[in-house]
Structure 1
Amino acid sequence: MNARPTPSQAYAKARALTDHRASFAKAALFVAGIALSALLASQAFANPDRWQREGWSTDFTQATVDLGEIMDGGPRRDGIPPIDNPSFIPVSEVEHLNPLDPVMSFTHNGETRAYPLRVMTFHEIVNDEVGGMPVSVTYCPLCNAAIVFDRNVDGEILDFGTTGKLRRSDLVMYDRQTDSWWQQFSGESITGSYAGTALTMLPSQLVSWERFAEANPDAMVLEDPLNFRRPYGMNPYRGYDTLAQPFLYNGPFPDGIAPLQRVVMVRHGDTEFAISTAKLAEEGSFEHDGVEVVFTPGQASALDSEIIAEGRDVGNITVTMDGEPVVHDVTFAFVVHAFEPDLEIIQ
Structure 2
Amino acid sequence: MLFRAVSVWLLLAGTVQADPAFWRHEWPQTDFTVTSVDSWTEILSGGPGKDGIPALNDPAFVPVARETRIDPREPVIAVELPGERPRAYPIRYLTWHEIVNDRVGEVPVAVTFCPLCNSALTFDRRVRGQVLRFGVTGKLRNSDMVMYDVETQSWWQQALGQGIVGEMTGVTLTPLPSWMESWDGFRSRNPDGLVMDEPAHARAYGRNPYRGYDSSARPFLYSGETPPHGIDPLVRVVRVGDRAWPLARLRQAGRIEEAGVTLSWQAGQASALDTARIGQGRDVGGVRVRDGQGRDIAHDVLFAFAFHAFWPDGTWMLGN
TM-score normalised according to structure 1 size: 0.88
8 A Cα contact 2:250 2:256, kept in partner = yes
CA distance in 2, matches of 1:34, 1:120: 20
Gaps of 5+ in 1: 1-28
8 A Cα contact 1:178 1:193, kept in partner = yes
Deviations 1:95-137 (Å, cap 9, x if unpaired)?
0111101000001232211000000000000000012100100
> Equivalent residue for 1:337?
308
Q: CA deviation at 1:346?
A: 2.5
> Equivalent residue for 1:311?
281
| Residue of 132, 151, 156 corresponding to 1:182 | 156
1:52 pairs with 2:24: yes
Q: CA deviation at 1:31?
A: 5.9
Q: Out of 121-130 and 102-111, give the one that drifted further.
A: 102-111
CA distance in 1, matches of 2:25, 2:4: 27
Deviations 1:54-79 (Å, cap 9, x if unpaired)?
24310000001123211111001010
Alignment of 1:314-325 (within 5 A): 314-321=284-291, 322-325=293-296
> Equivalent residue for 1:258?
232
Alignment of 1:17-166 (within 5 A): 29-30=1-2, 33-40=5-12, 42-66=14-38, 67-111=40-84, 112-166=86-140
Q: CA deviation at 1:32?
A: 5.6
> Are residues 55 and 342 of structure 1, via their aligned partners in 2, closer, same or farther at CA, if it must alter by over 3 Å?
closer
Q: CA deviation at 1:41?
A: 5.1
1:207 pairs with 2:196: no
Give the total of aligned pairs: 314
1:295 pairs with 2:268: no
SS in 2 for 1:50: helix
8 A Cα contact 2:14 2:221, kept in partner = no
SS in 2 for 1:325: coil
> Are residues 41 and 148 of structure 1, via their aligned partners in 2, closer, same or farther at CA, if it must alter by over 3 Å?
closer
> Equivalent residue for 2:211?
238
CA distance in 1, matches of 2:253, 2:2: 40
Which contiguous aligned blocks of 4+ residues in structure 1 show a shift greater than 3 angstroms? 29-36
> Are residues 42 and 36 of structure 1, via their aligned partners in 2, closer, same or farther at CA, if it must alter by over 3 Å?
same
Q: Out of 33-42 and 282-291, give the one that drifted further.
A: 33-42
> Equivalent residue for 1:22?
none
> Equivalent residue for 1:6?
none
8 A Cα contact 2:13 2:46, kept in partner = no
CA distance in 1, matches of 2:27, 2:313: 37
Alignment of 1:215-234 (within 5 A): 215-226=189-200, 228-234=201-207
8 A Cα contact 2:2 2:210, kept in partner = no
Identity score, percent:
49
CA distance in 2, matches of 1:54, 1:41: 16
Structure with more helix by fraction: 1
TM-score normalised according to structure 2 size: 0.95
CA distance in 2, matches of 1:215, 1:53: 49
Equivalent position amino acid for 2:144 in 1 = D
> Are residues 233 and 37 of structure 1, via their aligned partners in 2, closer, same or farther at CA, if it must alter by over 3 Å?
same
Equivalent position amino acid for 1:344 in 2 = T
CA distance in 2, matches of 1:303, 1:151: 28
8 A Cα contact 2:13 2:45, kept in partner = no
> Equivalent residue for 2:248?
278
Superposed CA RMSD in Å reads 1.3
Equivalent position amino acid for 1:54 in 2 = E
> Are residues 144 and 211 of structure 1, via their aligned partners in 2, closer, same or farther at CA, if it must alter by over 3 Å?
same
Equivalent position amino acid for 1:298 in 2 = G
SS in 2 for 1:121: helix
> Equivalent residue for 1:247?
220
Q: CA deviation at 1:147?
A: 0.3
Gaps of 5+ in 2: none
